[in-house]
Amino acid sequence: MLIRHTPEWSIPEREATPEAVFLSRRAVIAAGGLAVAGAVVPCIAARADEEDPTSDLYPATRNPGYVLNREITPEALNLAYNNFYEFGSHKQVAAAAQALRTRPWEVSIDGLVEAERTIGIDELIRRFPLEERLYRLRCVEAWAMAIPWTGFPMRALLDFARPLGSAKYVRMETFLDSAMAPGQRQVWYPWPYVEGLAIEEAANDLAFLVTGAYGKPLARQMGAPLRLAVPWKYGFKSIKSIVRFTFTEERPKTFWETIQPAEYGFWANVNPEVPHPRWSQATEKILGTGERVPTVIYNGYGALVADLYRNMGGEKLFM
């Protein structure tokens, strides 16, 4: 029998649980109780940094083409509030995620490509010039952050992968290791986490493969050593800890689409006018500020991406 599982973000009282707990902790920090963030969070970051064989690449030069009209989310907040179901279906996964072993780490490129191959993460990262970009992140749960990512355009990976003309999509997969990631022992989830993009989306300037954030190698809880950032789409499209890129003719079935097809589609472009079946997407909470602001179509990136979807009537572009 298929167990119908409800994702954590669909629990109606979600506003009242982990986030409220977190934000009240923030209030403590703001009031001078720095011991909490000071003692715990930077240690987590420092550990990831020390062990990383690519630390010499950071900080990378900021690309001035990507600017924000909101403040960067404080790093400590970003390190302590994550969605990474491999380490738990709640936001406080940072400590558990330190079990993620990020070396050795191999990335496979397969499917409809000129030549399938596997490449070590350090060789992969060093192939491409890294740059910093300031991007928004809008979770489907209606909270938002703004993050200084470091990485390289996904188009550079496409050039390296040399997909065949018949490839229409790129499917991405997260690691699978339930000994390391306790969430993967929750067998009702369709592990490994899978996401996908149309080739044209992956080739868009905005699609970014992330190797770092806040001027250093990516923290484990943020999806080290390699994740996606597609800021015009809901956050669940931005898959973490990628081990595989597969080029396909058929549209891949994603993790959340497999779990709840009526609520989480393939395209998942941000749109304030298309509510989630169980809550509005009209506004979003900017984490760390207490502010709630109107959501913008394509999360404000329409000038760069709206053309991708011009002739796609009939597709559910916004779920």
Contacting positions for Mo ion (CB under 5 A)? 83, 139, 235-236
Residues 6+ positions from 292 with CB-CB distance below 8 Å: 283, 284, 285, 286
**Which C-beta is closer to Mo ion: that of 60 or that of 287?**
287
Question: Hey, which residues between 264 and 283 contact ligand MTE (CB under 6 A)?
Answer: none
Residue 86 touches which member of Mo ion, ligand MTE, none, C-beta under 5-8 Å by kind = ligand MTE
How many secondary structure helices (H) and strands (E) does the chain include?
9, 12
Give the C-alpha separation, 135 to 229, whole Å.
8
Q: Tell me how far, at minimum, the Cβ of 254 lies from Mo ion, in Å.
A: 13
45 contact, one of Mo ion, ligand MTE, none, CB 5-8 Å limit per kind = none
Site size toward ligand MTE (CB under 6 A) is: 17
CB of 61 to ligand MTE, least distance (A): 22
Residue 266 binds: one of Mo ion, ligand MTE, none (C-beta under 5 to 8 A by kind): none
Euclidean distance between CA atoms 311 and 74, whole angstroms: 39
Residue 26: name its binding partner from Mo ion, ligand MTE, none (Cβ under 5 to 8 Å by kind).
Answer: none
Q: How far apart are CA 259 and CA 4, in angstroms?
A: 8
Distances (CA, A) of 6 to 55, 58, 121, 175: 39, 39, 34, 23
Q: Is position 241 an interface residue for ligand MTE (rule: CB under 6 A)?
A: yes
Using rule CB under 6 A, residue 243 touches ligand MTE: no
CA–CA separation, 193 and 149 (whole Å): 21
Which CB atom, from 112 or from 208, has the smaller least distance to ligand MTE?
Answer: 208
Tracing tokens 């200084």 back to the chain, one arrives at 148
Compute CA distances 281 → 229, 233, 236, 275, 276, whole Å. 20, 13, 15, 5, 7
Instruction: Tell me which residue has tokens 């179509």.
Output: 297
For the bound state, the minimum distance from the C-beta of residue 57 to Mo ion, rounded and expressed in Å, comes to 28
Q: What gap in Å lies between CA 54 and CA 123, rounded to an integer?
A: 10
Among residue numbers 73 through 102, which ones bind ligand MTE (CB under 6 A)?
Answer: 82-86
Binding at 201: pick from Mo ion, ligand MTE, none (beta carbon under 5-8 Å per type): none
In DSSP terms, 37 is beta-bridged to none
**DSSP symbol at 218:** P
The amino acid sitting at 187 is: V
174 is in an annotated binding site: yes
24 phi/psi in degrees, rounded to 5: -70, -30
| 169 assigned to a ligand binding site | no
240 binds, among ligand MTE, Mo ion, none (CB under 5 to 8 A by kind): ligand MTE
Beta carbon of residue 112, minimum distance to Mo ion (angstroms, whole number): 29
Question: Residues marked as binding?
Answer: 82, 85-86, 139, 174, 227, 238-240
Binding region for ligand MTE (CB under 6 A):
82-86, 137, 139, 174, 193, 222-223, 235-236, 238-241
Question: Residues marked as binding for Mo-molybdopterin?
Answer: 82, 85-86, 139, 174, 227, 238-240
